[in-house]
Amino acid sequence: MIDWPLAELLPHAGDMILIDQVLGFDQEQIHTRLTVRAGGLFNREDGSLPAWVGIELMAQSVAAYAGCRARSEGNPVELGFLLGTRKFECNVEHFPAGAELQIHALRSLEDDNGMGVFECHLSGPGIHASARLNVFRPPQAQNYLAQASRETRHD
């Protein structure tokens, strides 16, 4: 189990942090968990989470992986982007309130330009979901965002 607070690993705040805990990580993968609780930003009236939120849970696990790597190397946690997903498959339409979900993200590709691909799996009681996430962590993300903002204003 990792003792670093999630708010120090993820570039998210407050209710946008959906995962509860990092169970473990190494240079290639991360294991995280959460318990579905009613009353969150994405919950349905019955307290469950729609299955499509699984993509965000996987993405936050990948972000936590990057945060853990940065912290373990003595570097600051940097902003990253989910570019897209391929082959999201889930055997249920929603994750019920009270369900404990486990997420595993395995790095399959990462280049020096900040592009990465992760094979992700989410499981729980009678729940199986998988996806391949494409992510981008630009070097010096704040400069990247400032440049993109300047270019947008000039268009």
So what's the pLDDT on residue 147?
A: 62
Parse the chain into domains and list their residue ranges. 6-154
Longest Cα–Cα distance of the chain, Å, equals: 51
Domain 6-154 sits in CATH at 3.10.129.10
Bigger pLDDT: 148 vs 22 = 22
pTM, to two decimals: 0.88
So what's the pLDDT on residue 150?
A: 65
pLDDT reading at 123 higher than 60: yes
Average pLDDT across the chain, whole number: 89
* pLDDT single digits (tens) 65-121: 999 999 999 988 888 899 999 899 999 999 999 999 999 999 999 888 889 999 999
Cα angle, residue 93 at apex, residues 38 and 34 outer, rounded to 5°: 45
DSSP string computed for 63-79: HHHHHHHHHHTT-----
Bigger pLDDT: 49 vs 152 = 49
Task: Give 3-state DSSP helix, strand, coil % of the chain, rounded to 5.
Answer: 25, 35, 35
